[in-house]
């Protein structure tokens, strides 16, 4: 999985990446979701992400620049669960690299069609996914977790057909 492009290396995450992954997830989630869900954001400190990120291993591709983890995408089953990049690196193609690595891993696992969920109102993320060939197929209920429990929200369900020949 290791690849380098413009000083960015994409590789599988390891247990040693957990603190950096939590930091990326925390900063990127708050950057993109705090305005959509301010009550949840107030109850999602770094510890929330720290406690949960380990569940993403071993199905997690990370983007590394100069030794620092700056983005990641994780997957489970036929679904991509998280795609987050440090805000300072937005717009540089990092998210496309990590989601591409996740898609390739899912293709290698034999999936022809994959899913991901995106919080309604996160228009920037939706536009990014659609640019990457994802299609919104509907809206579904979801529970957004925080330190004291969960909040019901609506998310877009996106799907993408994987071309067996592409890599």
Q: Spell out a b/e string for 53-90, using b for 16 or more CB atoms within 10 Å of the CB, else e.
A: beebeebbbbbbbeeebbbbbbbeebbbbbbbbbeebb
Three-class SS of residue 41? helix
Q: Is the pLDDT of residue 150 over 80?
A: no
Do the domain assignments include residue 67?
yes
Tell me what the pLDDT averaged over the chain comes to.
Answer: 90
Going by pLDDT thresholds of 50, 70 and 90, the confidence category of residue 6 is low
- Stretch 43-66: mean pLDDT: 89
Residue 40: Cβ-neighbour burial (10 angstroms; 0-12, 13-18, 19+): buried
H/E segment holding residue 154 = strand 149-161
Give me the domain span that covers residue 50: 3-161
What CATH number does residue 77 fall under? 3.40.630.30
Give how many domains the chain has, as a whole number: 1
Token reading at 45: 């400190």
Three-class SS of residue 32? helix
Do the domain assignments include residue 120?
yes
Do the domain assignments include residue 68?
yes
Do the domain assignments include residue 167?
no
Tell me the pTM. 0.90
pLDDT at 1: 60
Higher pLDDT: 101 or 145? It is 101
pLDDT at 47: 87
- Stretch 82-105: mean pLDDT: 96
Going by pLDDT thresholds of 50, 70 and 90, the confidence category of residue 56 is confident
Do the domain assignments include residue 166?
no
Going by pLDDT thresholds of 50, 70 and 90, the confidence category of residue 136 is very high
Q: Is the pLDDT of residue 39 over 90?
A: no
Going by pLDDT thresholds of 50, 70 and 90, the confidence category of residue 37 is confident
Q: Are strands 113-119 and 79-85 parallel, antiparallel or unpaired?
A: parallel
Token reading at 80: 């991509």
Is residue 84 within 8 A of residue 118, CB to CB? The reply is no
Percent of the chain with pLDDT over 70: 92
Q: CA-to-CA distance for 45 and 27, rounded, in angstroms?
A: 10
Do the domain assignments include residue 147?
yes
């Amino acid at each position: 999985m290791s690849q380098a492009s413009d000083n960015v290396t994409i590789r599988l995450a390891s247990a040693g990446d957990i603190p950096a992954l939590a930091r990326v997830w925390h900063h990127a989630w708050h950057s993109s979701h705090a305005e959509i869900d301010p009550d949840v954001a107030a109850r999602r400190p770094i510890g929330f992400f720290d406690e949960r990120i380990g569940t993403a291993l071993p199905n997690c591709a990370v983007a590394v620049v100069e030794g620092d983890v700056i983005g990641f995408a994780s997957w489970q089953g036929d679904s991509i669960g998280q795609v987050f990049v440090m805000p300072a690196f937005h717009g540089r193609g990092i998210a496309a690299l990590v989601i591409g690595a996740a898609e390739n891993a899912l293709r290698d696992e034999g999936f022809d069609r994959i899913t991901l969920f995106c919080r309604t109102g996160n228009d920037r993320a939706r536009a990014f996914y659609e640019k990457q060939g994802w299609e919104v197929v509907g809206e579904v209920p979801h529970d957004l977790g925080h330190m004291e429990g969960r909040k019901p929200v609506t998310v877009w369900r996106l799907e993408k057909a994987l071309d067996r020949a592409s890599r």
